[in-house]
Amino acid sequence: MDDRNTGPGLAVVTGASSGIGYELARLMAEDGYALVLAADRPLDEAREGLEASGAQVETLEVDLATKEGVDALVARIGDRPVAILAANAGHGLGRGFLDQDFDEVLHVINTNVTGTVRLAQQVGRRMREAGEGRILFTGSIAGFMPGAFQAVYNASKAFLDSFSFALRNELKDSGVVVTCLMPGVTDTEFFERAGLMDTQVGQDDKKMHPAKVARIGYEALKRCDGDVVAGLKNKLQAAAAAVTPQTLLAERHRKMAEPGSGGEAP
């Protein structure tokens, strides 16, 4: 049993090497939480930045698309109660579905869906038993529309958005809060990793800053909100998607994500 002082508790953040995950970790550190950070990329820079501000940080470089990766993170948590789980790990994949390598397709599904729900179940059971805890899923407004040339990613986010609402309802009398953060286009490494830099959406120069997105999500979690769409423009897009035919939404997404739609990649 780890008996170190963890202030208000332990926060576990996945996908925390950069972007929204790192910014969520920074906000939780400011509130005094001890941190366990996990990502499939090196976390040295993230750890050093957070420790410089006085935070207590543990890191684990692990692939959360795998059962072994999730089990390793659960083992690192050990017997310590988790006050917050920020299930933020995820990545995308551009190009047409039939042109994608299927191993890469599976990795998107296993990261965004399988690994996320596997971790949420294990940590969520402990929270329910304790009668308290908060889970923040990073979903996306992409889950509201068919993602032509990003079909698997958008479908995975549709799953996660739906899953979070259902889990919140199941846990409504348990003391465990579930919140879904649904950002739009955010200025992170997502587009480079997904091979979307030659697309209109990849070259969009009006992406939201991840620090702003993270703060919106974290404040919603602290208020115990069920969901929050980050940014006015994204709120309008989400509202419009609810009343727009799916075929039209798919065509709009095609214009944003079709290879070459943004000209040459920078």
Residues involved in catalysis = 153
What secondary structure letter does DSSP report for 174? T
What SS3 state is found at 35? strand
Cα separation of 47 and 125, whole Å? 28
Cα separation of 127 and 140, whole Å? 25
Here the tokens at position 218 are 């974290």
- CB 237, CB 142: distance < 8 Å: no
Distances (CA, A) of 184 to 20, 126, 154, 253: 12, 31, 12, 13
Distances (CA, A) of 114 to 11, 30, 94, 182: 21, 31, 20, 19
Q: Give the contacts of 115 (CB within 8 A, at least 6 positions apart).
A: 64, 65, 66, 69, 70, 89
